Structures are given as structure tokens and as C-alpha cells.
Amino acid sequence: MTSPTAPLYRYETKTLVADYLRAGVGAFLCLAPLLVIESGSVMVYILGLLGAVFLVFGGRTFLRHRSAVGLSAEGLQIHGPWPRTLAWRDLAVMKLAYFSTGRTKAKGWMELTLRGGGGRMSFDSSLDGFDAVVAAALHAACTNDLALSDVTRANLDAMGFATSQGSLPDDHL
């Protein structure tokens, strides 16, 4: 699906490094005490569960690190340990969410979720080609006549896509 000249996008290195650090420190702080805590204690289960969550987060970060996103006129393709493809003609759901990290909502990240063809893909705004992927997904959503939620429309507007007039950027691919 992806042509040899199609761009490949990856997640930003600084974001991945920060996530690796969070996963490592969290797993260490939760799992290291298990070496000294009495085995029948409730804390063993609590810390073990929290440690497992950090390990899963580290695994997810590793998958993002080893993956690249290919964008073409036909669709999206994830290259990496678990390759997946989503053809634009199969796009059935597009959601764009914003997650704030502060009370003022000035800092945060966006997450694009796409569903179709029996699969699901999600990307956050630390992907170096996030705007291009959103633009291409919006074009496909309009082509497929998908209904977009008010939240998705507001987030698209915040990114500079004028969804209320239905205008789309022509240079998204």
C-alpha cells in the first residue's frame, strides 16, 4: 500500500526516552520493594499490579519506538513488530481527542483514533507527521461521508482544519 516515496513517520525520540524513563522508574519503584515485603501481604499484590502496568507501558513504548507509520493516497500502514494496514476506503470511525496535562488546558496532547476494515489504529501528537495523518484521515472521513462528533470537530478546528465549511487542505499527501 505504501509506495517507495511515501513518507514514513516516527514518534519523537525525546517523547520515547521520557516514556522509557517513566516506565523504568515506575517498574523499579513498584517491583523492588517486593524483594523485602512479606509474601502474604496485600501490598505485594498492589505493588505487583502497579509494576505490571509500568512494564506494559514500557512494552508499548518499545513497540512505538520500533514502528513507523506510512501514509499514502490509499491509506495508512504501520511498519514494525505488529504491522497493520487501514485503507482509506474502509475508514468507518475517526475520533480526535485532546488530553490536557494542566488546569489551564494550555498543555497536553491529541490522540487520533481510526477504525475500519476490522481494525483500529491510534496515534498521539508526538508522531512527527501527526498533522499530515490527521489531514489525510479527515479527507478520507469526508470522502466516506462519516459523521464526526462535536468534540472531534472542535479539535480539528483547534488544529486549523476548518471543518464547519467542509474545506480540506489539498497538500496533505
One domain for residues 150 and 74: yes
| Residue 165, helix vs strand vs coil | coil
* 115 is a domain residue: yes
pTM: 0.79
Among 100, 115, 97, 103, smallest CA distance to 159 is for 97
Buried b (16+ CB within 10 A) or exposed e, 9-48: bbbeeebbeebeeebeebbeebbeeeeeeeeeeeeeeebe
Tell me the CATH number at 75: 2.30.29
Residue 87 belongs to some domain of the structure: yes
Q: Is residue 4 pLDDT above 80, yes or no?
A: no
Domain that residue 106 falls in? 68-159
The pLDDT of residue 29 is 96
- Secondary structure letter of residue 88 according to DSSP: G
Task: Tell me, yes or no, whether 55 lies in a domain.
Answer: yes
User: Would you place residue 144 in the very low, low, confident or very high pLDDT band (cuts 50, 70, 90)?
Assistant: very high
Task: Determine, yes or no, domain membership for 2.
Answer: no
Mean pLDDT, range 91-108, rounded to an integer: 84
Structural domain count of the chain: 2
Estimate to the nearest angstrom the gap between the alpha carbon of 73 and the chain centroid.
Answer: 20
